[in-house]
Structure 1
Amino acid sequence: MQLRLTVEYEGTAYQGWQVQPDGPTVQEVLERALATALREPVRVRAAGRTDAGVHACGQVAAVRVRHVPPDLERLRRSLNALTPDDVAVRDIAVVDDAFDPRRHARSRVYEYRIWNAPAPSPFWRRHAWHVPLPLDVAAMEEAVRALAGEHDFAAFRGADAGPQRSTVRRVLETALRADGPLLVYRIEATGFLKYMVRNIVGTLAEVGRGERPPAAMREVLESRDRTQAGPTAPPHGLLLVAVRY
């Protein structure tokens, strides 16, 4: 059998989700805690491999176990006692062996936060990109609407991304909201390319600063050319909100 975990983490101190040779990762922390609590070696698989510095409040992971603990709530408390304060297991459930957190996901939801004010915010410094110049929110709202639906998102993939079978993705939701100086871009899609959200946000910031018109977002999308998009926004503004099944 498998255990399905819903995991939250503040990604500042980590080199991303996946185990890396050059620094701590969330996967490594969870596997160590699970091995201690379950008294058996484990390998944890996640719905999405977030990059260094990226946060999550709704990551989903699965782990095969030889024996299912009788008290899952006690296991959850044990895991949270064994992990650092910046990683927490919110929920544990039993699922069958066929469950694959990545392949069975219907969609994923990300949010990206921008702190748009002349002065930086000490409170948001780890969770929002500080953009001091005023941004035109109405222009940005118009620009993101071009991303809705099924498109080839090759223009927004990472420049160092390896070969992929397809760069076509279907965006189910794309919206920007403002709460005072805090801007939140929310996107839900059937899948994401490497750096896709951060490259969209980098382009969106250029629209907000008046460096591109709102129509440029569609033009970049249709170009399928990474060099036509804006710079990659920093990782700390990105949050994996939910994985839907």
Structure 2
Amino acid sequence: MKRIVLGVQYDGASWHGWQTQPSRHTVQDRLESALQKFAQMEIATTCAGRTDRGVHALEQVVHFDTDLTRENFSWVRGVNAFLPPTIAVRWAHVLPISGREDDFHARFSAVSRTYHYLLYNHAVPSPLLSGKVGWTFRPLEVEPMRQAAAHLLGEHDFSAFRAAECQARTPVRDMQAINIVRQGDLIIFTL
């Protein structure tokens, strides 16, 4: 048995989030369908962290277990042949499974997550960025935002920002870094 680890990128605009839901159009359902077509067997995936409806992923880490032997590039090319243009497997790694607790696990081996939020700051919204970034017409200054964001660094209870159905073990998070930069009319927040 081997553990296959994939780096998956997707445009979440047309998907109802990552996680399988009854009668819903989800990234997990579509990826598992493509994997099953390529592997000719049932495959169940586990991801590093679920995304909500409309949320994009640059590098969602996903794993599944299989007895099949394929090269890394074969998993990438083969699975992508069955995926729509809004989802792509960017890389694959084949790992051994020892049955010990230190085996790689997409969710439990993750030590941190990085989020990027983009805000288009211009008098007129961009039709090319619509649905991809936030927009505000009011002029914004980055330096005061950086100063305010510094207060969020460290360990804090983010209960006020959790959805009622949130399943995370704890609302406490350790915010290790917040970077706010302006690139032309885009303000990029990286947490």
TM-score normalised by the chain length of structure 1 = 0.72
2:24 — aligned with what? Answer: 23
1:141 match: secondary structure: helix
Query: C-alpha separation between the residues in 1 aligned to 2:17 and 2:157?
Result: 26
Residues 39/164 of structure 1: CA separation in 2 closer, same or farther (3 Å cut): closer
Report the identity percentage: 35
Residues 53/45 of structure 1: CA separation in 2 closer, same or farther (3 Å cut): same
2:136 — aligned with what? Answer: 131
8 Å contact from structure 1 (residues 12, 54) kept in 2: yes
1:149 — aligned with what? Answer: 154
2:187 pairs with 1:183: yes
1:134 match: secondary structure: coil
8 Å contact from structure 1 (residues 19, 28) kept in 2: yes
Query: C-alpha separation between the residues in 1 aligned to 2:167 and 2:155?
Result: 20
8 Å contact from structure 1 (residues 145, 175) kept in 2: no
8 Å contact from structure 1 (residues 116, 130) kept in 2: yes
Residues 92/15 of structure 1: CA separation in 2 closer, same or farther (3 Å cut): same
Counterpart residue identity of residue 81, structure 1: A
For residues 65-214 of structure 1, the aligned pairs below 5 Å read 65-69=66-70, 71-97=71-97, 98-158=103-163, 160-162=164-166, 165-187=169-191
Query: C-alpha separation between the residues in 2 aligned to 1:167 and 1:119?
Result: 37
The structure carrying a bigger helix percent of its residues is: 1
**Unpaired stretches in structure 1, ≥5 consecutive residues:** 188-245
Kindly provide the CA deviation profile for residues 98-141 of structure 1, in whole angstroms up to 9, marking residues without a partner as x.
22111110101110001111101122112101112222322211
For residues 217-228 of structure 1, the aligned pairs below 5 Å read none
**Unpaired stretches in structure 2, ≥5 consecutive residues:** 98-102
Residues 164/101 of structure 1: CA separation in 2 closer, same or farther (3 Å cut): closer
Query: C-alpha separation between the residues in 2 aligned to 1:123 and 1:84?
Result: 21
Offset of residue 168 of structure 1: 1.2
8 Å contact from structure 1 (residues 35, 41) kept in 2: yes
Offset of residue 68 of structure 1: 2.5
2:34 match: secondary structure: helix
Query: C-alpha separation between the residues in 1 aligned to 2:86 and 2:166?
Result: 31
Query: C-alpha separation between the residues in 2 aligned to 1:96 and 1:9?
Result: 27
8 Å contact from structure 1 (residues 16, 25) kept in 2: yes
1:46 — aligned with what? Answer: 47
Kindly provide the CA deviation profile for residues 73-117 of structure 1, in whole angstroms up to 9, marking residues without a partner as x.
123111111100010000010123322111110101110001111
TM-score normalised by the chain length of structure 2 = 0.91
Count of aligned pairs between the two proteins? 185
2:100 — aligned with what? Answer: none
Kindly provide the CA deviation profile for residues 7-37 of structure 1, in whole angstroms up to 9, marking residues without a partner as x.
0001111000001224211101110011011
Query: C-alpha separation between the residues in 2 aligned to 1:157 and 1:44?
Result: 25
Query: C-alpha separation between the residues in 1 aligned to 2:168 and 2:47?
Result: 19
8 Å contact from structure 1 (residues 11, 52) kept in 2: yes
1:243 — aligned with what? Answer: none
1:24 match: secondary structure: coil
